[in-house]
A and B are shown apart, each in its own frame.
Chain A
Amino acid sequence: MKILRLSLFNLKKNKREAIGIAILTFFTTLMLAIAAANHAKVDKVFDECFAESGSKDYAILFRGDKYRNAFKDVLHDDYGVGTVAEGRMLSAPMIDTYSPDGDTVSYNYTFVTEKTERKLEDFLKRDELPDEEIAELEHPIWLPVNFQIVKDYHLGDDFTIFAGGKEFEFVIAGFYETGLMCSDGWGFKTVISDEDYDTLTGLFTSSTDCEGVLLMFDSTESFDYDEYLEKCSEVAAEDISLNTRKNYVEEEKTNESSFLSIYMLMIVALSMVTFVASLFMIRHKISNDIEDQMQQIGVLEALGYRSREISLAYLYEYVIAGSAGAILGAIVEIITTPALNKGISMMLGRSVQGSSDILSVVLVTVLIIVAVVVFALLKARTVKNYPPVIALRKGIKTHNFSKNFLPLEKSKINVNLALSLKGLFGNLKSCIGIVICIVTAGTALLFSALTFDCFKDGAGGLISMMGIDTDMIFVDVMDNVDTEWAREEILKLPGVRKVLIRHDGDYLSVKGSSEAAVATVFDDFSEAENINPFLGRCPERDNEVMIGRRRSESECIEIGDSILLEHNGIEKKYLVTGIIGSLHNGGSTVYLTSEGYERIVIDAKPRLISVYPEPGVSLTELEETVAAHFGGTAKDAELDLASIEDPDERIKAAAEAKIAILLSQYGVTDVDYAVRIGDRLITGNSRNFVIKEIRSYEGITKTQLVPIGETTRTFTFLALFLIAGIVGVILSIISSSEVRRQRLSLGIMKGLGYSSKDLMTQIAMKFMPVIVLSVIIASVCVVFVNEFFWGALFATVADTSIPVIILVDILLILFCYGVTYLSAGRIKKISVNELMTE
């Protein structure tokens, strides 16, 4: 009982430390439990949804004119595949639609008819309009559940797709479960009517669109796409790898859960910070308790208590504080499960329901408690190092006395600083824990700050990692238009800063690689604004190439190596001059000079005009300016049609809209028309059209990068506060416990005439060298952490902003100083009266 009372006494005496430990174990358990319970849940939800959808594990889309029935035989014969589902599918990337809020957003889509869908999957409808309402719809569309869960579309909403310069208005008839195409990776699979499918097939005909035959199948053996496509190419007697799209269950799962996994990883990393902090607190508190109660320990030992029994006294409080925090963390995780489910649903794009994974939560809670108790026990076991005589001598084991660090007689610095440093160097061992703690928390804080800075303006950070210029519009001019003339015209427009004529890079095969490459082409890469290799340089000659980091690492290609590119049977060797961190096309892009590109795509003509806006001019404004200058687009014509009152003008406008579609989507080069109305003849031609198409990355930025950026920004902002709070709590407790431990010395110093401010300064300054050193170490660590994080997860290179690191370092040091200074305010309560003898 005596032992237990000592434990309870310690708990009551150091309430702040006990609460601090409870808070830290609370956050540790909460975050680890969230990660543990939901990591399994994400897998489970995906697997369940996938199974319910009736989807097969593998899917390959062959362009229609390249498909051979023999490809199915290869599956049967060479891979033992049983049933192969077959149907036609249209794949179209970066399609603009209206969001429920009316904004233009851009996603990748695939389209199938209901008949095909029933062949491919079970067409499991989660929600749909009544049959009679669907029957009345002219253009019904079924969307993946992602659109209902994440994008907030509702049954009966209009769903408008921009295609061929026109708006196609569908009405959402239902939401359904799909297996392999419920993310933006390959494209969201939508189910439309046969007529609409035919219409869209006629419109989506660009090189990046693909209409053809989709094969879906399960394979009991590991299926190698590249090997299969090679076999198909042999069967077809031509390389068909550039004319296929592919996807499989693991890739889909990765696509859907990649960012969720990253956030989970960050949560686990944060929980490690709080865990290290809680262990540090325990170590700190036990050391202080043992030191404070050394003579009491001696007395207990003298009375016959074994050191093991006394160690237990220091254990009970951690069992209480650690358990309280851990159990509360577990309870909060379980209580907040509905909110967590909703958050995960939003990120996963699948419906997540059900209770928390209690087993995982309990396991995490028990592990945390056990870890806390074992750590506390190991530290408390140091009691055995103090037999009674030594304990009664306050732990002094020998007559070897400590060294006199920084003797004052030689000191030339301010006395408060000198005394701080004496205190520090006299007890360096105790600083190791502070260093570990501040380095860990500081690294996490700096990483959060760097990530927050990266995403401070939404998608800015991600855009800078794209490895392509995004702050511009692409103007695709008609084939009969002189691009140089168009460039000169555009250059004269207000809001235009720079105009470049470039190649619209096509897909190229990389020999020896399973991954085709999209070419990004510039005459001179010094004109590019967001293409910055982190190793080597951009290509300058026609036999040079720059590749993405992911390709470099996955295919072991380094600067100085050569790669063989192939296009339409032409192969050329290129010397790798640089490696760039690139998110664009999953890092598969290759960068070539115009001459280099023309070596391999021999009929290529640079017809893509990149228009860069003046600062402050939005891409939308720029698009409008350019379109207005060249007489508008077909879309404009369509929209303005209803507002034109004069019948002749309306006919002209309608004709021009049709011409625009023919020119932009069907490869038509010249159109003349004549409309006779009674005696009147209305004529016109296509020579007025200059622009085939205007494109930009704005839609994809808004729909994909901005949400990721905003979520990451919010997450890192909260993490900043959490970590700063942890650092604050730790330093506050260290500082105040230092005051408690040094109470007598501080009282003496007060008696000598040192003011409370002097002594608070001394306490704060005492920790500063350790804090500054830890912050410097953290600053070095964060460079590697940042590099590793972005490199390992995205194969790109994030900007490690040195000014941000320096700024955060300064703020962190000032924050630490402020916290330790203010927390040492207990000094004010120390009265020299305590030195009285009566």
Chain B
Amino acid sequence: MASFILQTDKLCKSFSNGGTMQHVIKNLDLGIEAGDFTIIMGSSGSGKSTLLYALSGMDKPGMGKVIFDGKEIQDFSNDELAVFRRGNCGFVFQSIYLLENQTVLDNVLTGALIVQKNSTDLVEKAKTLLTKTGLHEEDFKKFPNQLSGGEAQRVGIVRAVINEPKILFADEPTGQLNSSSSKDVLDIFTEVHKNGQSIVMVTHDIKTALRGTRVLYLRDGGIVGDYRMAPYGEDDLKERRAGLTEFLDQMGW
């Protein structure tokens, strides 16, 4: 039996919509293995982001279990979930969500200092990671509104990985970027994954999905398709694209 870093058991999530309950996730069972680069796809409104946030402890499920690294987190209070997220989860958002009044370096350190003590090593680590993503020393003191979208998202990724989370969650990380910036950002994700980082990413973009090792297709609150691929770069890109396209076509994409 595979060892899952993240599992769900009959996970349900509903929202009240004008007095009517809308069941977004229905009895969903899922297991994510350590080291996987899992892509969650589905049509708009299929519950991709809802699932991502439920899996990551950003939100509480209505029913069912979420077992993260052996711990059931569905009954945690909001503050317990916040503390839990610190060391276990990293997040990259579509809207990037850098803290506007903080510099690049401070944005990264704000994520780090809640877990780690301030030290020269930590600052050096942040700078190294930022440099690896293609940012330069002079960029570190810039504020978010001085950065391009791609640069800002690179900062977002560094902020998400600085604490070496067990899983890096990403919600449409290239959704607001142009194609050039998207490629740069996806390269970073691929690099991070090669270094052993587990990633769960929501996307509706095939180019982004190609970077994963597993694609889950979501429809009507349940997983209707599960497609596996070799790590990016280890197979022929054309065949990889064809296989994924076929899978998505079968899913009704």
Contacts and interface: CB of A to CB of B under 8 A. Distances in A.
Pair from one complex: yes
Interface of A: 396, 399, 401-402, 404, 407-409, 411-412, 415, 418-419, 422-423, 426, 744-745, 747-758, 828, 831-833, 835-838
B101 A415 contact: no
A84 B59 CA distance: 94
Interface stretch (B61-69, B105-113, B221-229, B236-244): B105-113
Given A404-B141, A836-B49, A426 B101 contact: yes
Contacts of A399: 146
A408 B50 contact: no
| CB-based closest 4 A-B pairs | A753-B86, A415-B113, A755-B79, A408-B109
A695 B122 CA distance: 81
A744 B99 CA distance: 9
Nearest to B146: A401
Contact of B103 (A407, A751, A831, A836): A407
B101 A408 contact: no
16 contacts: A399-B146, A407-B103, A412-B118, A415-B113, A422-B101, A422-B106, A744-B97, A751-B93, A753-B114, A753-B115, A756-B78, A832-B53, A832-B58, A833-B53, A836-B50, A837-B49
A831 B84 CA distance: 16
A396 B145 contact: yes
Contacts of A748: 97-99
Contacts of B102: 404, 408, 422
- Which interface residue of A399, A423, A757, A832 has the most chain B CB atoms within 10 A? A832
Contacts of B87: 753
B36 interface: no
B227 to A, nearest CB: 22
B54 to A, nearest CB: 10
Nearest to A756: B79
- Which interface residue of A412, A415, A747, A753 has the most chain B CB atoms within 10 A? A753
Interface string B58-99: 110000000000000000001100111111010101110111
A407 B108 CA distance: 12
Nearest to A757: B79
Contacts of A831: 59
A409 B115 CA distance: 15
A399 B143 CA distance: 11
Contacts of A756: 78-79, 82
B106 A408 contact: yes
A831 B15 CA distance: 14
B153 to A, nearest CB: 14
Nearest to A416: B114
A338 to B, nearest CB: 53
B35 interface: no
Given A407-B106, A409-B123, A411-B118, 19 more contacts: A399-B146, A401-B143, A401-B145, A407-B103, A409-B106, A422-B102, A745-B99, A747-B97, A748-B99, A749-B110, A751-B85, A751-B93, A756-B78, A756-B82, A828-B78, A833-B58, A835-B97, A835-B171, A836-B50
Contacts of A419: 110
B105 A407 contact: yes
B105 A409 contact: yes
B127 to A, nearest CB: 9
A755 B83 contact: yes
B106 A837 contact: no
Contacts of B166: none
B110 A835 contact: no
Given A411-B118, A837-B94, A838-B45, A402 B85 contact: no
